[in-house]
Amino acid sequence: MGARNESLYGRFLAPVVENILINRDSLRQLDQQIDWETTIPRLTNPQVVYPHYYERSSFHGIEKGYLCKEAALSYDPITQYALPPNETWVRQGLLDAIQGFPERILDLGCGTGTLTMMLKKAFLGAEVVGVDLSPYMLTIAELKSEAEHQTIHWRQARAEATGLQSDSFDLIAIGLLFHEMPPAVTELVLKEAYRLLRVGGELIILDGNQKVLRQTPVLTDIFEEPFIRDYAAGNLDAWLGAAGFGAVQSQDHWLVHQVTRGVKGIRAQNPEESLFADVEAIVEPWVMG
């Protein structure tokens, strides 16, 4: 955890979070409850090749990133303090943005499944799939959903190339994923989401508020997030538009988050594009001739 000591998080927050806020005994108990040697191979998809950025980056100062049990065990206890003013209220913003009644729901980069389970609870009859690259995070997700008697399909896959069927989901949710990947990968994930949604299907994203993060550099420095500055410099609305989504809209959400929604099949009207472009294309050769 070499990098941890360099950052604001490593110097000031990590000791508080790890020694005071996290209950080490309950983490140990959870660890002992899990048969990692069985679950990791079972939840590992042999076809998955980890992207370079994912394998090499240390997220939140944990050297193996999400590919270790320490990251998975500590994710929920830390996240409850990382989403001000309240984790459930922040996550609820994504659910409140849903306009349809989805029957098939996909959560991309589902992590330990907290959001996935909220979606299942809100749409009890829906078939829900959670996709993540970390079998460790999926292990915790599976444990949580089994404890709540929820049927959710947990799958290890890359969000940018899931291998799932085209045009097969009514809703795709993406929570807290894009600030943790290079924008070039975000573009691929958005294209994949577009492919997977049915026409009229909704994509809803909950993540850090790009405007607020740009204006408050301390927020991008505080956590050990290797791609958060690149994320903050970008524009989710523009990224969704470029991937083909229409009716794109972002809303500021609580203190430092935003909720962004787009729909497949409704193309955004580019104000610079002539309404008569198709007619002009026919007329032009005549004029030229």
> Which residues bind to ligand SAM, rule: CB under 6 A?
51, 54, 66, 79, 109-111, 114-115, 132-134, 137, 158-160, 175-177, 180-181
d(CA 178, CA 132): 13
In the complex, the smallest distance separating the C-beta of residue 33 from ligand SAM, rounded to whole angstroms, is: 20
Measured from the CB atom, is 137 or 193 closer to ligand SAM?
137
How many alpha carbons lie under 13 Å from residue 77 in its C-beta half-sphere?
A: 20
Measured from the CB atom, is 76 or 246 closer to ligand SAM?
76
Measured from the CB atom, is 112 or 250 closer to ligand SAM?
112
Q: Which residue is nearest to ligand SAM (CB)?
A: 111
Q: How is residue 11 annotated by DSSP?
A: I
Q: How is residue 248 annotated by DSSP?
A: E
**Pair 252, 209: CB distance under 8 Å:** yes
Q: How is residue 20 annotated by DSSP?
A: I
In the complex, the smallest distance separating the C-beta of residue 216 from ligand SAM, rounded to whole angstroms, is: 19
In the complex, the smallest distance separating the C-beta of residue 109 from ligand SAM, rounded to whole angstroms, is: 3
Measured from the CB atom, is 133 or 204 closer to ligand SAM?
133
In the complex, the smallest distance separating the C-beta of residue 102 from ligand SAM, rounded to whole angstroms, is: 17
Measured from the CB atom, is 253 or 278 closer to ligand SAM?
253
How many alpha carbons lie under 13 Å from residue 110 in its C-beta half-sphere?
A: 35
Helix, strand, coil shares of the chain, percent, nearest 5, are 50, 20, 35
Question: Any alpha helices (H) in 148-235, and if so which ranges?
Answer: 183-196, 210-215, 217-222, 228-233
In the complex, the smallest distance separating the C-beta of residue 115 from ligand SAM, rounded to whole angstroms, is: 5
Question: Any alpha helices (H) in 14-102, and if so which ranges?
Answer: 14-16, 24-33, 36-43, 52-56, 69-82, 87-96
In the complex, the smallest distance separating the C-beta of residue 273 from ligand SAM, rounded to whole angstroms, is: 33
Q: Tokens 């997977």 label which residue? A: 196
Measured from the CB atom, is 102 or 111 closer to ligand SAM?
111
